[in-house]
Structure 1
Amino acid sequence: MTARSNPAHITVLGDGGRTVHTSLGEVTNDALVIATGGRFIKRLPGIEHAITPCEGITAAERIRDRLREMQGGTIAVGFAGNPNEPTAVRGGPMFEFLFGIDEQLRREGRRERFEIVFFNPSTEPGNRLGPKAVKHLLGEMARRGIRTHLGYKLKRFDTDKVVTEGGEFAADLILFMPGMTGNAWFDTTGLPRSPGGLLQADAQCRIPGTERVYVVGDSGSFPGPDWMPKQAHMADLQAAAAAENLLADLQGKPSSATFKVELICIVDAVDHGTLIWRTPERNWLLPSTRLFHWAKRGFEWNYLRQYR
């Protein structure tokens, strides 16, 4: 097996996955794990007028700078999904941006100069978090004076507005998380795909019809409940199963490890957070407290410590 640390772009898979063709040359392997993340669906007209927060530090800095420059106006925050893949959506971070911006503006004494609007094609945004979570999130929006525009398919973004099939509203800043699909280079692989364009996976994180080719995280479409999250915690659980099966396969041993389906997140709002936990057996929501904010910061510190 060969390994390289230089960043490169994947172009093609060859030899049933044993050769990875990249922009820096070929990499051969005895086993392959694909964990390259998903790709946001950016087909909505005018999508260039919106900022997608999870695209990286640059996007976050753009949001920071725009908020500093604005003296008032309307801030629109929303997300949408992949119509062919219900699980290929990442809405949780948008609730954090929504409540976090509201809280920050209050701290700065500027909240009354802004209108904040949350928009979503569903009438129950965040329903994968569970019914209690949807009720809580909508209640928190009402408590904070955040207006909602729900249940209408998006048509387009303009420089100064959001347009849906149910009407339009002014927006001086648009934060929007599109649904996800597979990476463009997947099209060159011949690997089996899900209806939403992700790589098809079985319960052991293998890609059917291949030998020692695995997928974890946002790149894959996995068997399980329709609320299975696209989040780092879920990817960690899938990665552990894939690693165990990969090593067993290389050693010629039985390999049947599966992953636990679990959604756990703390929706943080600057100095307090709400804990949401969902498994096939239970769905808990613990109201917002400062304890959960500090618990999230502690988890982040401990999680990153292993990579420092």
Structure 2
Amino acid sequence: MSGITLVGSSFGAVSAIRALRKRDARVPINVLAPKPELIYNASLIWVPTGLRRGNALRVPLQDFFARHNVRFIAGRACGLEEAGRRILTDAGQTLENAGLIIASGARHIKKLPGIEHALTICDGIEAAEAIQARLQGMSGGTIAFGFAGNPNEPAAVRGGPMFELLFGIETWLRRTRQRGNFRLVFFSPAATPGERLGARAVAGLLATMQRRGIETHLGHKLVRFEERAVHTEGGSISADLILFMPGLTGPAWVQDSGLPLSPGGFVRADAQLRVPGCARCYVVGDAGSHAGPDWMPKQAHMADLQGAAAAANLLDELAGKAPTQIAPAELVCIVDSLDGGTLVYRTETRSLLLRSRLFHPAKRWFERRYIAALRG
């Protein structure tokens, strides 16, 4: 058997590897990714204020792969053949597989005119360090923070990190006694940004902005960026630094792969995470458009749940059984502010919102625990 191939080395991929090995110690597992590493994206928000160094969030996976008997292949997927059984790579290789799990993440939609003038924290370590350099070099001025979605798939939005970046920088400015020199403005085309967190969370976030003296510019379609301005249909915001999170779409390589895509450009998946029309092919994490409630998050925790479910289903298919595992829709996040945080928990039957100063150290503890487990 040619084995199982995972495209990507993201949270969903490492979760799938653990689940595969827990159930089957011998099935061949191959990972195709640019580098044998995972970037702990959840902590990028702490780089601009100096709480984290970028390289501390770069987790080598060589030892993790060795412990789980995984073969790593350096490269990027660029297409599929034979209904998913053959992966084409940018190095000219073709990789055969008996089963496929796509975990290659999403990409940001960078089509707005002048978007090169904005910095996007989730672009990675280099972007976070660039924000840090710009911030540390400022003695005052206006910082504009914002995010937008995918007009063809409203759920394809990642607003949480921007709330955290906003509150974290505001806290850091107060701690360094610079807050009075800065005007902070939060903007979004949504009138109630962050709706996937729930109505109570949105109200709490907006109230926190008001309490901290953060201006808002909401409900106006974005038009363009300039080096020192954000232009919307409802007016313009002068800014010395623009921090913006665009909406998400699927990875570039799947667009011409023949896989079924959602209106927003993501790989379609059914309730069991299978890609319709592609036998023994699954998609987890941000790359997929998954069955579930409209608030289902694109976040690491959801990718972990999906990775484990997809692994179980794929092994069942390879054994001739019907896949039955469904990853529960579960939103769990701490909206951090350096001086505390808000825990948001949401399922299809429950929701919870708690605020505490303890949630900042709790988020740091979880980061250390997750990275330590990967390092072994």
Query: Which TM-score tier does this pair reach, normalised by the shorter chain?
Result: over 0.9
The residue aligned with 2:102 is 34
User: CA separation in 2, counterparts of 1:187 and 1:169?
Assistant: 35
Note the alpha carbon deviations across 1:58-105, whole angstroms, 9 max, x for none: 011011110110111000000000011111110000000000000011
Give the Cα–Cα distance (whole angstroms) in 2 for the partners of residues 109 and 69 of structure 1: 15
Does 1:258 find its partner at 2:326? yes
| 1:123-169 residue CA offsets vs partner (Å, 9 max, x unmatched) | 10101100000100000000000000000000000000000000001
Which residue type is aligned with residue 295 of structure 2? W
Unaligned runs of 5+ in 2: 4-29, 31-70
3-state secondary structure, aligned to 2:279:
coil
**TM-score normalised per structure 2:** 0.80
Q: Deviations 1:210-267 (Å, cap 9, x if unpaired)?
A: 1001000000001111111010001111111100001111111231110110101001
Q: Give the Å deviation of 1:271.
A: 3.1
Aligned amino acid, residue 56 of structure 1: G
Matched residue SS, 1:188 = coil
Aligned residues: 307
| Equivalent residue for 1:17, pick from 67, 71, 84 | 84
TM-score, normalised via structure 1 length: 0.98
1:127 match: 195
Cα distance in 1 for partners of 2:237, 2:107 equals 28
CA contact (8 A) 2:101 2:281 kept: yes
Among candidates 151, 167, 176, match of residue 83 of structure 1? 151
Q: Which residue of the other structure, out of 114, 119, 123, is the alignment partner of 1:51?
A: 119
Q: Provide the rounded CA distance (Å) in 1 between the counterparts of 2:214 and 2:282.
A: 43
AA in 1 matched with 2:166: L
SS in structure 2 at match of 1:42: coil
> 5+ unaligned residues in a row in structure 1: which ranges?
none
Q: 2:182 aligns with which of 108, 114, 119?
A: 114
Identify which of 219, 226, 230 aligns with 1:162. 230
SS at match of 2:368: helix
In structure 1, the residue matched to 2:255 is: 187
SS in structure 2 at match of 1:122: coil
* Structure 1 match to 2:43: none
1:248 matched to 2:354: no
Q: How far 1:306 sits from its partner (Å)? A: 1.7
Q: Aligned letter for 2:359?
A: F
Post-superposition offset of 1:23: 1.8
Q: Distance in 2 between matches of 1:61 and 1:125?
A: 26
**Bigger Cα displacement from structure 2, 151-160 vs 267-276:** 267-276
| Identical residues among aligned pairs (%) | 59
- Cα deviation, 1:147-205, whole Å, max 9, x if unaligned, reads 00000000000000000000001011001000011112112211101011100000100
Residue aligning to 1:302:
369
Q: What amino acid maps onto 2:367 in structure 1?
A: E
Asked whether the 8 Å contact 2:340–2:357 carries over to 1, the reply is: yes
* Residue aligned with 1:300, SS: helix
Which residue of 92, 101, 109 corresponds with 2:160?
92
The match for 2:346 among 269, 278, 281 is: 278
Q: Distance in 1 between matches of 2:271 and 2:370?
A: 26
Write the letter of the residue equivalent to 1:279. T
- 1:272 is displaced (CA, Å) by 1.1
The corresponding residue for 1:151 is: 219
What's the secondary structure of 1:88's corresponding residue? Answer: coil
SS in 2 for 1:237: helix
Q: d(CA) in 2 for partners of 1:185 and 1:196?
A: 14
State how far apart, in whole Å, the 1-side matches of 2:322 and 2:237 are.
57
Counterpart residue number, 2:285: 217
CA contact (8 A) 2:255 2:265 kept: no
CA shift for structure 1 position 290: 2.1
Which of residues 42, 50, 71 is equivalent to 2:139? 71
Alignment partners' CA distance in 2, 1:71 and 1:291: 31
Pairwise CA distance, 1:6: 3.5
**Amino acid paired to 1:143:** R
Output the amino acid matched with 1:23: D
Give 3-state SS (helix, strand or coil) of 1:11's partner: strand
CA RMSD of aligned residues (A): 1.0
